[in-house]
A and B are shown apart, each in its own frame.
Chain A
């Protein structure tokens, strides 16, 4: 991935990520989150993770965001009215985030392996590309087969939980 594209999509992801936090209107926040996720998917493509990028667009930018917008519209949320500013919370939140970034900067400066350029991938003989989906599928169904089935059970439990939670009266 050329550095220009990297900086473009990284800026897109971060700017719209900040817009999610800064917007007062929940619908605008949700739409900014979609753009942020799409920028992230582009970064995944730059990292040769095509399958993850496609899943990111399908699951996050598609399913999860539709769910968010659906709930926002179901609850009929309006633009937040201004309340008394909670100064300690604002100062604390900003301070923790800035401290985290500063510390990360320090750590990354000393992280030797992080300064090496991106290594070139060499696909196995007979293949023209890296066969992303096949390799992930092989890993998923051989070495990570048990976690995969546990995830299936988790989704079943989540589905039942949502149905129970959505009942008219909770007992």
Chain B
């Protein structure tokens, strides 16, 4: 039983599906945000797996790992801005439940 690329890609896909289901099932805006992070991490796992299985001169493909580094950086910035928006929203509406925030709903 040896590990193949498919093992890692399938774990990554399952993690992505978990995050996707969370975004659609949950109604708490903070939990939705956590599930978004879960999906970003699933993408990172598949990138690192492709980097390790696609050797360049006997070493992993470091372009993929630099891309993962960028994704982590952007995700950190995104979390900071998103949580600031959530705090501003909570101040205005006193709720984090998405069904209570419907003034833009047609």
Contact = CB atoms under 8 A, between A and B. Distances in A.
Interface of A: 1, 3, 6, 10, 13-14, 17-18, 20-21, 26, 29-30, 33, 36-37, 40, 43-44, 47-49, 51-52, 55-56, 59-60, 63-64, 67-68, 71-72, 74-75, 77, 80, 83, 86, 89-90, 92-94, 96-98, 100-101, 104-105, 108, 111, 113-119, 121-124, 130, 135-136, 138-140, 143-144, 147-148, 151, 154-155, 158-159, 161-162, 165-166, 170
Contacts of A170: 88
Contacts of A20: 18, 22, 31, 34-35, 38
Interface string B1-19: 1111111111101111111
Main SS of chain B's interface residues?
Answer: helix
A135 B68 CA distance: 14
Interface of B: 1-11, 13-28, 30-31, 33-35, 37-38, 41, 44-45, 48-49, 51-53, 55, 57-60, 62-63, 65-66, 68-70, 72-81, 83-88, 90, 96-97, 99
B37 A89 contact: no
A67 B90 CA distance: 16
23 contacts: A6-B7, A10-B7, A14-B18, A21-B22, A29-B34, A47-B49, A52-B69, A63-B76, A64-B75, A75-B86, A75-B87, A83-B27, A89-B25, A97-B21, A114-B4, A121-B55, A135-B62, A136-B66, A139-B62, A144-B66, A161-B81, A162-B84, A165-B85
